[in-house]
Amino acid sequence: MSFMKSILAGTAAIALVSLSGTAFAADVAGAGSSFIAPVLSKWAEGYKAATGNAINYQSVGSGAGIKALLSKTVTFGASDKPMSDADLEKNGVAQFPMISGGIVVTYNIDGVKPGELVFDGKTLADIFLGNITKWNDKEIAALNPGVKLPDQAISVVYRADGSGTTFNFTNYLSKVSADWKSKVGSDTTVDWPVGFGAKGSEGVSTTVNQTAGSISYVEYSYVVANHIGYSKMKNAAGKVVEPTLASFAAAAANADWAHAKNFNEIITDQPGDATWPIAASTWVLMYKKPADAAANADALKFFDWAYTKGQKDATDLNYVAIPDNVAKIVMNAWKSDFGM
């Protein structure tokens, strides 16, 4: 019967192909944060053109990146939530910051233009807690004199999937609202008191666009790409700031990287007049004593290249590169952490 014969022939053919296929030993695999994925992908392209070495990065989410590292299926993990000192110690892993950026509150309100609204931390927490349910609430109105707020119900939209963006956003809310901290807390997914979820930042942007009266939070680049409503924020210094690369950079610059053990410095609600309050970083995590030392060394070469040659790519894609002085501290730490 030709049907069975063709299956057998096909099996044989595939067996041959798989024998002739070669795995690239020089390739480095990484996985994790979707926040860093666009710029990491850009860097990988430039690095491959410059050196011929490929970096395979899979954007699966911060927690999944850490899990992949710990199960030793990748050389490096990337996470928007730093690993605790104890966990780093226990697993023999070191981490360092790779990029920073901003998280922006986005909305779709009848008659309110992008960039018109101002929020502060407490109001934001009250909205996401469900204490404020209408856009013309006096707490919002007090922050926005002169803006005509409609009598419209607020639809809270959040990230349905586990996300470092959610971690940093809820970390900010926990810092500015004791109520939020005790009732909800901060993690990559939380038990939201109100609202509904959309998948990924792209899903959030689309849903906000489609839903009148909605509010949510996304990475800055999605606001730029999708031209959706964004708010200004009142920061810890009491100043109203616009979401710009400069205000994100201020948050990163005002963070005390030099003294933060294991670079564990979450840059939400940082001091400084120009500081954007909901800024975020992504850390790269690697084993100090990996099974494949050559792969580790290749990965560090890539990150070295990214620190020194990748700043322009970062700015082009609306990220804030790690400042040169911090990059120097990181590369110094590599000597003791990885023996490089």
Partner 1 sequence: MTASTDFAGQVVPDSAAISRRFRRQDRLFFLLTLGSATLVVALLLAILVVLAIEAWPTFSTFGLSFLWGTTWSAPRDIYGALPAVLGTLISSFIAMLIAVPLSVGIAVFLTELCPARLRRPLGTAIELLAGVPSIIYGIVGLFVLVPLMQSTILPVLMATVGQLPLIGRLFQAPAPGIGLLTASFVLSVMILPFITAITRDVFNTVPVMLRESAYGMGMTTWEVVRHIIIPYTRLGMVGSIMLGLGRALGETMAVTFVVGSVTRLQTSIISPSTTISAQIANSFGDADGLQLSSLIALGLILFVLSFCVLALAKWLIGRTDSF
Partner 2 sequence: METAVRSSIMNRRYRRNRIMMALAIGSSALGLFFLAVILATLVYRGIDAINLDVFTMSIPAQGSRGGLVNAMYGTVVITGLAMLIATPIGILAGTYLVEFANGSTLAEAAKFINDVLLSAPSIVIGVFIYGAVVVPMHGNSAIAGALALALIALPVVNRTTQDMLKLVPNALREATAALGAPRWMSMTMVIYRSAWTGILTGILLAVARISGETAPLLFTAGYSKFWNTGLTGPMASLPVAINTLAADPGPDLKRLAWGGALIITVAILALNILARSLAGRRSS
Positions in the binding site for partner 2 (CB under 8 A): 1, 3-4, 7, 10-11, 14, 17-18, 21-24, 27, 29, 31, 34, 37-38, 41-42, 44-45, 48, 54, 56-60, 64, 71-74, 200-202, 219, 221-222, 224-226, 291, 316-318
CB of 225 to partner 2, least distance (A): 4
Q: Is 271 helix (H, G, I), strand (E, B) or coil?
A: coil
Number of residues written out for the chain: 340
CB of 185 to partner 1, least distance (A): 3
Amino acid identity of residue 195, one-letter, is G
Residue 8's alpha-carbon distances to 12, 16, 21, 115, 306, in angstroms, are 6, 13, 20, 64, 48
- Tokens 């564990």, residue? 264
Could you say whether residue 255 binds partner 1 (CB under 8 A)? no
Q: Which of residues 152-181 bind partner 1 (CB under 8 A)?
A: 153, 155, 160-163
Which CB atom, from 260 or from 297, has the smaller least distance to partner 2?
Answer: 297
Site string for partner 1, 190-219 (x = CB under 8 A): xxx--xxxxx---x--xx--xx--x-----
Tokens representing 322 are 């790690």
DSSP per residue, 79-128: ESSPPPHHHHHHHTEEEEEEEEEEEEEEEE-TT--TT--EE-HHHHHHHH
Which CB atom, from 137 or from 304, has the smaller least distance to partner 1?
Answer: 137
Tokens representing 260 are 């933060």
Site string for partner 1, 44-73 (x = CB under 8 A): ----------------xxxxx--x------
Strands 232-234 and 320-321: unpaired
Binding site for partner 1 (CB under 8 A): 60-64, 67, 153, 155, 160-163, 184-192, 195-199, 203, 206-207, 210-211, 214
